[in-house]
Structure 1
């Protein structure tokens, strides 16, 4: 038996002793299950060390200068990773990392043929005794290679020893966290550039499909910290409530999974933000509008719609949204809030704005989405002593707001309340090109929005 394989045989003997004469894993006691699992881990890690050594040897015999005499090409493969992946059943990426580990931990020689220590001797020793896996070794080596030129060999060796001491017993996810902190310790000046790179790559996309809203987000750490903290805070509160429950196994007990809880937490946070009256949140008056017929709401039949979504929701869902405060229901035919404040207030209230959204559907002049509009006094507050009433309000985007102010357009609301229709009249000093002169009514909000507002009444 080769002495080189002794560590592997020792690990296999330990596995054999833990397994004993059991016919299957189901026959093992709890203590022997843990012992066998530990022994399997050692076997795998020592096999990783041997495989990395073999990968480095194959790479050496397949170096480019050998041309057609390359070992990988002789075996019918384009490169070493493809050969190793085919024989081991893994991916070429895993095989490439194995080669990298093998080459970084193999003994070297100088031009005179003198044998030199491995580039990373501490990683080599940890691999040999089965303390770390090839995947962990690859992650450590990748970091050390990345900072070698910037921090120098002495600093790299110090980090190598520290990482090898702390990595055993950690999962791969925990090792990644360790490496991230080690990189910040080794190269503190590189934190800001990496942070800017991550910030430039941040994104969030949303799309509706199959009755579901799909949200995909990728945030830099600074932007993601409050998101993660808020969601985890709500989830933790739910778990504390479960723990304090008298009958956690009751039929109506909360059985939501963690992913469900996190999704519900995000919804609760956003619902709170939408309903918040604070001026610190730049929501632009954004409001969730649920449209439902009063008879459907009373009978529990039919369905409701939510502005901005194609899919309908059940009456039960509409009731839940109204009860939670996460949305403002616009109940057709029902009593609403006081919408007219006369001269007592200068700014339109949230209730008034919601009524304007239901009436105008967005910018009453160009049709831009409601969240991009502001409530505008038709008869100006200061110049005309106009009242902050629904009949004196209209939704306009920033561009149309300036257009009406700067050019003196006349806005008329025909009808009262949310049944009104807005029309825009050009001032007599403005020529209308091929369409005639001023004084002709301009286009109001788009037909589809006007129809939706009409249905809401």
Structure 2
């Protein structure tokens, strides 16, 4: 089916769903959800058609045509300028449209023979309306950047995996996926990239409008303890807020009510840590057990190749960075596949141990449903300890933030764990009113790992 045919079908579906309604307020919840899905599909298909058009405009405006190029005939310096002005998007977005269109369109060789598209799997996903141009643009940029270092076969495999995994993800989650895929495609590039980032790290301070402004650019290796400590403080502050005497008081001026936002808490944490370093006396800082955990396989650690991950951060680091971090205090090096430690305690223990929680973080990456970092989650029994006599095992545990924990219990979602230990996968099964077919949705770290 062509892009235009798919576009017409999507428009017909939307017309049918919107029939007899003057505006969205007249729609039932079921129809509202259906219209929302149809609108998303229509938007993706329209962008796909636009990308095709943008690629041809770029071809017809190439520099060797001189003044006879399409864009210059229309009074524009380039195809991107013409597209941006005509559609009201930024020049960056116009450039992305051209790049995606060129990467997914069929080509011709010097003799005029037809060649397949550079990225056919992406093109199929765009034509079917499964993927939007913005997500496709992120994937194309990564594949083009790593095309030489990774090789043709590896790039083709990455295209297939990324296209499949990006379907149904938000653009923010696609960025996380692409960040992890970068290390998978070019692991040898992590060390030089890390060195470059360290050279660019900076913190500038200036006063304006009566306030001090901080502008920080921090490489991942340096940022890891900062992120862990600040997130730990925020988590502890929210936990203390629930236990405060006036936590539910409607009066905002009640003496014990903490009304600070997350950004406020984060800057308060930074100020508190600095004051402590300067010699602050008193009780120890509340960090809710915040710890930097660096995870690396035993093979990578011994060979000095590959990469490592840091809990709560998407960007991977080189083996050299992992070794340097492991030599510092306050960092736990988690070597996978090395020495054994008991992770399944059956009914002997009610609470998950520290070792079990580290294993759950390895599997789930944080909140298995929404992706919040590990510091903001708790380990929960799938089969309850008291009611269902569920064991305190990895196969019966999952990391969830407080919000997702309540959402799952209150709205009838189910959770299934496939596989054993840290290699298991977490699946969320929606209730029938959300999805009549109850199709499982992959959760945890597996959503972003480069595994077929």
The TM-score range, normalised by the shorter chain, is 0.5 to 0.7
User: Does residue 108 of the first structure (1) align with residue 107 of the second (2)?
Assistant: yes
Bigger shift: residues 180-189 or 265-274: 265-274
TM-superposed deviation, 1:43: 0.8
Structure 2 residue 265 is the aligned partner of structure 1 residue 261: yes
Task: Name 1:238's counterpart in structure 2.
Answer: 237
Per the alignment, in what secondary structure is the counterpart of residue 241 of structure 1? helix
Partner of 1:122: 121
Q: Distance in 1 between matches of 2:240 and 2:246?
A: 11
Q: Any residues of structure 2 matched to 1:252-401 within 5 Å, and which?
A: 252=254, 253-275=257-279
- C-alpha deviation, 1:247, in angstroms: 4.5
Tell me by how many angstroms 1:32 deviates.
2.8
How far apart are the structure 2 equivalents of 1:142 and 1:17? 37
Partner of 1:94: 93
Larger radius of gyration: 1
Distance 1:269 1:32 in 2: 51
Aligned to 1:392: none
Residues 1:17 and 1:247: Cα distance change in structure 2 (over 3 Å)? farther
* CA displacement 1:189-237 (0-9 Å, x = unmatched): 1001111111111111112233322111110001111111111111111
1:138 match: secondary structure:
helix
Tell me what 2:157 maps to: 158
How many angstroms apart in 1 are the aligned matches of 2:29 and 2:3?
33
Whole-angstrom distance in 2 between the partners of 1:246 and 1:165? 49
Q: CA RMSD in A?
A: 1.9
Superposed, 1:161-176 pairs within 5 Å as 161-176=160-175
Aligned position for 1:177: 176
CA displacement 1:242-266 (0-9 Å, x = unmatched): 3344653312222221111111121
Q: Distance in 2 between matches of 1:12 and 1:231?
A: 47
2:417 is matched with: none
The farther-off stretch of 93-102 and 206-215 is 206-215
Q: Secondary structure of 1:180's match?
A: helix
- Distance in 1 between residues matched to 2:268 and 2:279, nearest whole Å: 16
Provide the residue aligned with 2:200 in structure 1.
201
Contiguous gaps of at least 5 residues in structure 2: 282-452
Distance change (3 Å), C-alpha of 1:140 and 1:219: same
Partner-residue secondary structure (3-state), 1:113 = coil
- Residues 194-233 of structure 1 correspond to what in structure 2 (within 5 A)? 194-233=193-232
Aligned partners of 1:4, 1:261: CA distance in 2, in Å? 48
Q: Secondary structure at the match of 1:275?
A: coil
- Partner of 1:181: helix, strand, or coil? helix
Aligned to 1:5: 4
Answer whether contact 2:3 2:128 (CA < 8 A) is retained: no
Aligned counterpart, 2:71: 72
Counterpart-to-counterpart distance in 2, 1:237 and 1:3: 54
Distance 1:33 1:220 in 2: 44
Shift of 1:28: 2.8
Shift of 1:130: 1.0
Contact kept in structure 1, 2:44 and 2:126, CA below 8 Å: yes
TM-score by length of 2: 0.59
Instruction: Report the Cα distance in structure 2 between the residues aligned to 1:108 and 1:275, rounded to whole angstroms.
Output: 67
**Distance between the aligned counterparts of 1:271 and 1:14, measured in 2?**
61
Compared with structure 1, are the counterparts of its residues 61 and 30 closer, same or farther at alpha carbon in structure 2 (3 Å cutoff)? same
Deviations 1:75-125 (A, max 9, x none): 111110011011100011111111111111110112222211100001101
Question: Aligned partners of 1:228 and 1:153: how far apart in 2?
Answer: 37
- Which SS does the other structure have where 2:13 is aligned? helix
Per-residue Cα deviation, 1:435-454 (whole angstroms, up to 9, x for no partner): xxxxxxxxxxxxxxxxxxxx
Look up the match of 2:52. Answer: 53
CA distance in structure 2 between the partners assigned to 1:219 and 1:269 by the alignment:
18
- Aligned match of 1:28: 27
| 1:54–1:235 distance in 2 versus 1, CA, 3 Å | same
For the residue of structure 1 that corresponds to 2:215, the secondary structure is strand
Residues matched between the structures, number: 277
Per-residue CA deviation, residues 412-446 of structure 1 (Å, 9 max, x unaligned), is xxxxxxxxxxxxxxxxxxxxxxxxxxxxxxxxxxx
Could you say what secondary structure the match of 2:226 adopts?
Answer: helix
Tell me the distance in 2 between the aligned counterparts of 1:126 and 1:4: 11
SS in 1 for 2:206: strand
